[in-house]
Amino acid sequence: MSYLITGGAGYIGAHVVRAMVQAGERVVVLDDLSTGVADRVPEGVPMVVGSTLDRALLDSTFAEYGVTDVIHLAAKKQVGESVEMPLHYYRENVHGLQTLLEAMAAGGVGRFVFSSSAAVYGMPDVDLVTEDTPCLPLSPYGETKLVGEWMARAAGKAHGISTACLRYFNVAGAAAPELADTGIFNLVPMVFEKLTDGQSPRIFGDDYPTPDGTCIRDYIHVADLADAHLAAARKLAEPGPVRDLTLNIGRGEGVSVREMVDLIAEITGYTDARAEVTARRAGDPARVVAAADRISSELGWKARHDVREMITSAWAGWLLHHPQARRDA
Ligand code: UDP
């Protein structure tokens, strides 16, 4: 067996590569390096530089490496940017996926793990979001993930490809400092940036209908997320009928923005920092917490790391990538 991992030089993809390699699986990475970093791919893992939009490259990669399974993470993932550039998001995320599935169908590649997102749910009005909660995405990004799921399932059914659509909740942390997220687009790195710049971290609204008024999310350690990919890939490889799995990947535990900011200040040692409450950010749902039962019953997977470990490991990565912050801290 040989896994093609698209987006394997990205933050999450590199963690998936690491988990698969540590589990003894053979992998090859395809990444266009638009946001990925070649250094994240471990030595000994072949890397093909290019896009999933390049059908000829996909065909030759499948043939050269004897690809039997695909784990597809390569995608654009910024919600705000997707509003500005919807066609670019549809091209990269939907047309790129279509091209990949066409190559898989033509090449007889029969197993597919797809990186989806809790963004498919939009503003869920439930305490715990199950996989059957209606999908009403609020951004072009979320739409491309939902369309991607539909396409993967339909193609899977028609062409005998087992699929697992993994809906990530809020990913944080790092399995090793050098694998940390270098983008500053999510709560944890955004708070790190403010603290190390000597500014107040911002809380986007404290008038939500939640106990402390700030938004609640379900944070998942990227190392746990990577293990979930391994578990899903292994499930698809079990003998049996063509499978069609859709699974939330979260911890089933809500943490508020205020709780996160306080914990980050404590762990980083910026205990005097006071958060500044600003206006709500458009499109933020008050509460998004996964029901995580299905993945544990289907795959026997459970998250092992808590929020404290996510922040501690993310901070070690931040210090590695921002040596100036170490002196100031
Ligand atoms: N957030 C915040 N301040 C920041 C960054 C994020 O209050 O500097 C909030 C954001 O409004 C949301 C939560 O933190 O309620 C998680 O945001 P993130 O962008 O990390 O993920 P999302 O849940 O929006 O995908």
Query: Per residue in 163-205, pLDDT tens?
Result: 999 999 999 999 999 999 999 999 999 999 999 999 999 999 9
pLDDT one-digit tens code per residue, 9-54 = 999 999 999 999 999 999 999 999 999 999 999 999 999 999 999 9
What is the whole-number distance in angstroms between the Cα of residue 185 and the centre of ligand 1? 9
Confidence of residue 325 (pLDDT cuts 50, 70, 90): confident
Catalytic residue, candidates 141, 168, 208, 270: 141
Q: Residue with the nearest Cα to atom 19 of ligand 1?
A: 186
| Ligand 1: nearest atom to the Cα of 278 | 7
Tell the residue number behind the tokens 């939330």, with chain if given. Answer: 248
pLDDT in the model for residue 324: 80
What is the whole-number distance in angstroms between the Cα of residue 149 and the centre of ligand 1? 24
pLDDT in the model for residue 326: 64
Q: Are 273 and 197 in contact (CB under 8 A)?
A: no
| Ligand 1: nearest atom to the Cα of 190 | 8
Backbone angle region of 40, left / alpha / beta, with phi > 0 → left and psi within -120 to 50 → alpha: alpha
Is residue 328 predicted with pLDDT exceeding 60? no
Q: Residue with the nearest Cα to atom 20 of ligand 1?
A: 186
141 in catalytic set: yes
Mean pLDDT of 308-327: 90
What is the whole-number distance in angstroms between the Cα of residue 186 and the centre of ligand 1? 6
CATH number assigned to the domain with residue range 2-171+220-249, chosen from the 4 options 3.20.20.80, 3.40.50.720, 3.40.50.300, 3.30.1490.20:
3.40.50.720
Query: Which CATH code for domain 173-217+252-289+305-325?
Result: 3.90.25.10
Mean pLDDT of 240-265: 98
Mean pLDDT of 303-307: 98
Kindly list the domain boundaries of the chain, sorted by start residue.
Answer: 2-171+220-249, 173-217+252-289+305-325
| Ligand 1: nearest atom to the Cα of 188 | 20
Q: Are 5 and 13 in contact (CB under 8 A)?
A: yes
What is the whole-number distance in angstroms between the Cα of residue 227 and the centre of ligand 1? 24
Is residue 275 predicted with pLDDT exceeding 90? yes
Is residue 329 predicted with pLDDT exceeding 80? no
Q: Where are the beta strands (DSSP E) in the chain?
A: 3-6, 27-31, 47-49, 69-72, 111-117, 162-168, 170-172, 202-204, 216-217, 219-221, 244-249, 255-256, 276-278, 287-288
CA angle at 161 for the pair 32 and 229, rounded to the nearest 5°: 55
pTM of the model: 0.97
Q: Residue with the nearest Cα to atom 16 of ligand 1?
A: 187
SS3 189: helix
Tell the residue number behind the tokens 């979930």, with chain if given. Answer: 228
Closest by CA position to 119, among listed 171, 172, 180: 171
Mean pLDDT of 77-88: 96
